[in-house]
A and B are shown apart, each in its own frame.
Chain A
C-alpha cells in the first residue's frame, strides 16, 4: 500500500500544477493516469496546436506546456502511475483507500480529481459484431505485429496510426487501407510512400458496413457514400479512430454530478465528500470556465484544504514563493 498526502487522478496540466501547489506546501502527491504519459488533452488531442491564453506565456503548444509543467514540478520528485485507472475508492476513517486497474492500493486523506473529461480510450467500431471479435480479430492498437504475418488485414482510419501501420504491415501481410474521404489527416509523405510502394490497396470514400464470419472473421463489407458495397476478405481488422474520453468509474463514487462533471464549492473545490476534490475541466460550479488557467487556480485553493487534512496538527501559513525560505528550500533554490 502506498501512503501519501494526496492522490491526484489525472496527469493533465491541471493535475501537474496541483503537484506544484501541494509540493510548495510540503505535501507529497502520487499521480495516476490512464495514458502512458503526462499531458492529458494537451498531449493527446492537440500536442501541436498553439495555446494563447496561459497567463504570461503569449504562445505555446500543448506539448511545450506539458514539458514546462513537468520541469516546474521536478523538485518534488513525484511518482507517476501511468496506464492505470482508479477503479474503486472506499472510506477508511480520515483516509481514502484507492484501488487501480493494476490492483495498486493507495491510502491518502486527500484525492484530487483532475480527470478532464475522463480517461482516454480508443474509439470503437460501431458495427454489429465488432465487439464480439474484439481482441481476437478486431484490434484498436498493435502489440505484436507478428500475429499479422501473411494474413489479410483491413485497416480503418486516415491518421498517422492508420498510415504508419499500413506501411509497416504491408511488408509482412496483405493490407487494405479504408478511409471515408480522399484526404488523409496523416503525414503526406507516409501516404506518398504507400502509393509509391503500391502494395497496399487503398480504398477511399468507404466506411465499414458489416463484418461476416463465424468463430473468426471471414470478410468485411464496406460501403461508399453513394451506397456501393464491396466485400473484402479479411482475417484481421485494425481500427484507428483516435481516442475518446470516458468518465468511467468516477461516476460511481457517490459524488454529486451534473451530467459528466462533478459539483464542487468554490472555496476549496471539495466535492460533497470530505477530502475528495475536483479541479479543471471535470469540476463544475456557477460561472465555471473550462480553461487551463481556471484549473490552476482551482488546484491552488484545493491544496490549502489538502494541507489542513494531511497536517491536522500544523497551522497553515500562506507564503509567497518570492520570499519564503521554506518554499525555496522545497524547490531546491540555492539562496545567494
Chain B
C-alpha cells in the first residue's frame, strides 16, 4: 500500500498506509489524523481538508480544477502548494508523498 506522510503544523509526523483509490483526506479521517476536518465529506465544498503538498510531490499531482482553486481561495492561509486533500487520490505514483496541515482549518 502507498505510504502517505502527514505532518502537523507543530511538526508531529505520521506515516500511514493508505489504500490506493482513497483520497489523502479519507486516509487521514480513517486513521484519525488531526489537522484535517473535511466538514463537507469530500464534496469540494468547504476547504477544511486543506493541505500543503511538499514541492517535489506537488508537481507530480494532476492540476487542481477550477472548483478546487475556488475553494482554496477561502482556505485558511493558502500558499502556492495548497491543495484540498479530498481531491488527491492515492496511487502508486504518490507512494511516499508528504503533506503538511495548516495551523488550523477555519
A253 near B: Cβ within 8 Å? Answer: no
Interface residues of A in 45-60 (CB under 8 A from B): 45-46, 49
Which A242-267 residues sit within 8 Å CB-CB of chain B?
Answer: 242, 244-246, 260
Interface flags for B36-72 (1: CB within 8 Å of A; 0: not) read 0101110101101000000000000000001001100
Distance in angstroms between the alpha carbons of A207 and B40 in the assembled complex: 25
Query: Which of A29-37, A180-188, A298-306, A322-330 forms part of the interface with chain B?
Result: A180-188
Q: Is B92 an interface residue (CB 8 A)?
A: no
Give, as a whole number of angstroms, the nearest-CB distance from B55 to chain A. 13
B residues in contact with A181, CB < 8 Å = 69, 73
Chain B positions within 8 Å of A49 at CB level:
45
> Which of the candidate stretches B8-16, B20-28, B74-82 sits at the interface with the other chain?
B74-82
Asked if A126 contacts B76 (CB within 8 A), the reply is yes
Question: Is residue A314 within 8 Å, beta carbon to beta carbon, of the partner chain?
Answer: no
Q: Which residues of B contact A244 (CB under 8 A)?
A: 39, 46, 48, 106
Nearest-neighbour CB distance to chain A for B44, whole angstroms, equals 9
Asked if residues A123 and B69 are in contact (CB atoms below 8 Å), the reply is: no
Q: How long is the Cα–Cα vector from A158 to B76 in the complex, in angstroms?
A: 15
Q: Evaluate contact between B73 and A41: CB separation under 8 angstroms.
A: no
Using a Cβ–Cβ cut-off of 8 Å, how many residues does chain A contribute to the interface with B? Answer: 26
Chain A residues whose CB sits within 8 angstroms of the CB of B69 once the complex forms? 181, 183, 185
**Once the chains bind, are B73 and A245 in contact (CB under 8 Å)?**
no
Chain A residues with CB under 8 A of B45:
41, 45-46, 49
Shortest Cβ gap from B28 to chain A (Å): 12
A-B contact count (CB 8 A): 49
A185 to B66 alpha-carbon distance, docked (Å): 8
Q: Interface residue count for B (Cβ, 8 Å)?
A: 19
- Mask, A223-243, CB within 8 Å of B = 1, is 001000000000000000110
Which of B40, B76, B78 has a CB less than 8 Å from the CB of A180? B78
Contacts of A157 in B (CB 8 A): 73
Query: Smallest CB-CB separation from B78: which chain A residue?
Result: A180
Say if the beta carbon of A130 comes within 8 Å of chain B. Answer: no
User: How distant is the Cα of A123 from the Cα of B72 in the complex, in angstroms?
Assistant: 13
- Are A46 and B39 neighbours in the complex by a CB distance under 8 Å? no
Closest Cβ of chain B to A308, distance in Å, is: 32
Q: Who on chain B is nearest to A240 by CB?
A: B74
Interface membership of A26, Cβ < 8 A: no
Chain A 152-192 residues near chain B, CB threshold 8 A:
157-159, 179-181, 183, 185
Which residues of chain A are within 8 angstroms of B39 by Cβ–Cβ distance?
117-118, 244-245, 260
Q: Is the CB of A158 within 8 A of B48?
A: no
Asked if A241 and B73 sit within 8 Å, CB to CB, the answer is yes
Out of B40, B70, B76, B77, which one reaches A117, CB within 8 Å?
B40
Are A179 and B73 within 8 A (Cβ)? yes
In the complex, what residues of B have CB within 8 A of residue A260's CB? 37, 39
Residues in A lying within 8 Å of B, measured CB to CB: 41, 45-46, 49, 117-118, 123, 126, 157-159, 179-181, 183, 185, 207, 225, 241-242, 244-246, 260, 281, 290
Residues of B within 8 A of A (CB): 37, 39-41, 43, 45-46, 48, 66, 69-70, 73-74, 76-80, 106
Contacts beyond the supplied A185-B73, A245-B46, A246-B106: 9 A-B pairs with Cβ under 8 Å: A46-B43, A117-B46, A158-B73, A159-B70, A179-B73, A180-B73, A185-B69, A225-B80, A281-B41
